[in-house]
Amino acid sequence: MAVFFRLLEGGLFPFRIISICWLVLFCLTIHPSFAAEDGYLINRGDRLEVDVWQEENLHAEVVVAPDGTFSFPMIGVVTAAGKTVEQLQTLLKERFEEYIPGPEVVVSLKAVEGNLIYVTGEVTRSGPYVMTNNLDVMQAISMAGGLTAFASKNNIRILRRNADGQSTSIPFSYGAVEDGENPETNILLKSGDTIIVP
């Protein structure tokens, strides 16, 4: 490493360029927007940018409506919720192909405002919280300001609505995880989960 820095100080220009390129690539890999798009399922309330290359009238920011759809010129209503950005891009390309030969469609995830979890009960600040990255139960409780003095910390439950509409209640013992026991119960949350702290 010391040799590398001596080369830089010695004015070897190519090495400086290479080091700057590596730094830029590193920053891109950790940027939240890139992480969010990788396998992320679009939610109601998310903000997207849709752009059809070389079609200036087919460029807009849209918000996914409560029914999981958005409207776009020429193709009308599109279902976005539950799809990845890549899947939505493919769908839009197929829809535009009915009107434009070989369309190049780019979809960007601008804000994950629909990716919400809820924390309620004996926490300092109950309410909805946006998940911009993977979030576990302990992290969500921390975002809500932690437990109050009256919280029954070993009787916490996570309510999760499944794809079939049925709800599942998942028990969580804050005290056990805090003591280093059963760390596997500190599960990653999914959009729509509600943490109830009695």
* pLDDT per residue as tens digits for the range 3-31: 444 444 555 444 444 444 443 333 333 33
Of the chain, the percentage scoring pLDDT greater than 70 comes to: 81
**pLDDT at site 21:** 43
Q: Comparing 87 with 57, which gets the higher pLDDT?
A: 87
* pLDDT score, position 151: 95
92-125 pLDDT per residue, tens = 999 999 999 999 999 999 988 888 999 999 999 9
Q: What is the mean pLDDT of residues 19-45?
A: 52
Mean of pLDDT values over 125-130: 94
Q: What is the pLDDT of residue 9?
A: 52
- Closest CA relative to residue 31, chosen from 129, 133, 175, 163: 133
What domains does the chain contain, in order, with CATH numbers? 36-111 (3.30.1950.10), 116-197 (3.10.560.10)
pLDDT of residue 55: 87
pTM greater than 0.85 (yes/no): no
Per-residue pLDDT for 141 more than 70?
A: yes
165 vs 172 pLDDT, higher one:
172
DSSP-assigned letters across all residues of 121-179: ESBSS-EEEE-SS--BHHHHHHHTT-B-TT--TTSEEEEEE-TTS-EEEEEE-HHHHHT
Question: What integer is the mean pLDDT of 121-131?
Answer: 94
- What is the average pLDDT score of the chain? 83
Residue with tokens 């509600």: 194
Could you tell me the pLDDT band of residue 185, with boundaries at 50, 70 and 90? very high
Rounded Cα–Cα distance for residues 194 and 93 (Å): 36
β strands within 11-163, DSSP E:
47-52, 59-63, 69-72, 76-79, 105-111, 116-121, 127-130, 156-161
